[in-house]
Amino acid sequence: MHQTIKKIFRLSLAICIFVITAALVITCLIKAQDILNSNELYESRKVVHFDTDADHQYILMSNNQKPDQSALIVLKDHGYVMKLSCEHYLKTVCTDQYNLFSTRYIRKATIQSIGNYLYFQNIQWIDIQNN
């Protein structure tokens, strides 16, 4: 009886180790594939330009509080157009000073879409709170 319990415990432990190892190997293979395909994704990136004019007024809003840390480009009176992660912009775009305020009017913005990710390439705004 004691030997049977020991064998079942060892078998369960071996299965757990095997499953964890298999998950790590699969993760490594997928990440390696992402790295190998990164040049293709970069070459096929899309660039989106936002220019404020009389018909379209864009506002930059940000939320640096978890769980939804994001910067939003909002078309005034219509809702958001694009949502970017604040992961790379916590010290520039997603600061506490502008958290959840709609005081930054975008002059020009250029956004790169690479795969499923969006990045600011260039952005210029006017802060109507300080002007």
Model pTM greater than 0.75? no
Per-residue pLDDT band for 15 (boundaries 50, 70, 90) equals very high
Tell me what the pLDDT averaged over the chain comes to: 89
Please compute the mean of the pLDDT values over residues 30-47 and round it to a whole number. 92
Least confident of 12-16, 18-22, 56-60, 99-103: 99-103
Residue 9: pLDDT above 70? yes
Token pair in block for residue 37: 């395909």
Q: What is the pLDDT of residue 77?
A: 79
| Cα–Cα distance for residue pair 107/14, rounded to 1 Å | 60
Long-range contacts of 86-95, Cβ-Cβ distance < 8 Å, separation of 24 or more: 86/62, 88/119, 89/62, 89/120, 90/64, 93/60, 93/62, 93/120, 93/123, 94/62, 94/63, 94/64, 94/69, 94/70, 95/62, 95/64
